[in-house]
Amino acid sequence: MIEGILLKANKIDVYKDRGTKQVLAQMKQVFSLYKLDVNMRSECDFFDALIFHEGLLNKSRMEACFEDARRDLFDYWDNLSYQERNRLISLKNDELKNDLHYFKSSNGSYIWIAFFDELLNALYDKELAILELPQYFKLYRNFKDRTINIEQYGLEPYKQAYIEIHVIKRYDESVIFYYSNTKSLYQINAARKLRRFALSKSIGKLIPLKEELEIIAQAMLEEHELEAIEYLLRSTLIEDKTKKQLIKYQKKLTRKSK
């Protein structure tokens, strides 16, 4: 019920809101370029699409890094062994990776491209010179048959903030995060169920105090509704109009508990 009251006050829809339309347009353009059919219907689909899109950005930047290195070494490229080429390319790639988002798989592997398996990620990570080989060169454009479902990495992309989210709490089977474009707290669990706790639209894009979000999220997720309402009423994260609705619901819950 609290979720419904909060959502009614904050009706930001990721597929219709002005703030996310630009993000959606960018993603759709890139997916179309590679002829990728990425599902975008639910709010959970939206966040999964962000993960896929981040992988595409990393992939293209790493491939551009390879091209830049090969161009810089053009005059003596043919005289270098594969190992020498890879070592020189890796120097540029390692520098680039400082600016890229990544997460670690449950096996501890570095994952830069969330729709590739651990082996391909390891090759992009340490063996970028493979891109000059015919069987890998085609990955520039034709990689659809090498993609995996990003769900195979579980909640790790969320737990490790692979996309632009603010992680509030990590649990074995769920993650709580804040997404500034919708001014909302979310919980996603291992079954891919997404819950949203919408906050005030007027709090801006800066993340509120993490401690305050943690307290509210904990009370909500433990189903302590009265406790959650108390925290919300004392907080600055929702507007007075919403607080009035919560007070009405608070009275109703109090009567039931007697």
Q: Does residue 159 surpass a pLDDT of 60? A: yes
Average of per-residue pLDDT values in the chain: 90
Residues 6+ apart with CB under 8 A from 61: 96, 100
**Beta-strand runs (E) in the chain:** 103-104, 110-111, 166-170, 174-179, 184-189, 194-198
- Residue 124: per-residue pLDDT: 97
Share of the chain above pLDDT 70, in %: 97
Please name which of 132, 144, 32, 35 lies closest in space to residue 89, comparing C-alpha atoms: 132
pLDDT score at 256: 78
Q: Is residue 258 predicted with pLDDT exceeding 70?
A: no
Higher per-residue confidence, 174 vs 207: 174
**Cα dihedral across residues 169, 172, 175, 176: positive or negative:** negative
* 221 vs 120 pLDDT, higher one: 120
Section 5-14 average pLDDT: 87
Q: What is the pTM of this model?
A: 0.92
The encoded tokens of residue 75 equal 């005059």
Closest alpha carbon to 6 in 217, 222, 256: 217
Task: Give the pLDDT band of residue 79 (cuts 50, 70, 90).
Answer: very high
DSSP letter, residue 155: T
Q: Is 186 helix (H, G, I), strand (E, B) or coil?
A: strand
d(CA 1, CA 226): 11
H/E stretch holding 173 reads: none
Query: What is residue 227's three-state secondary structure?
Result: helix
Residue 204: pLDDT above 60? no
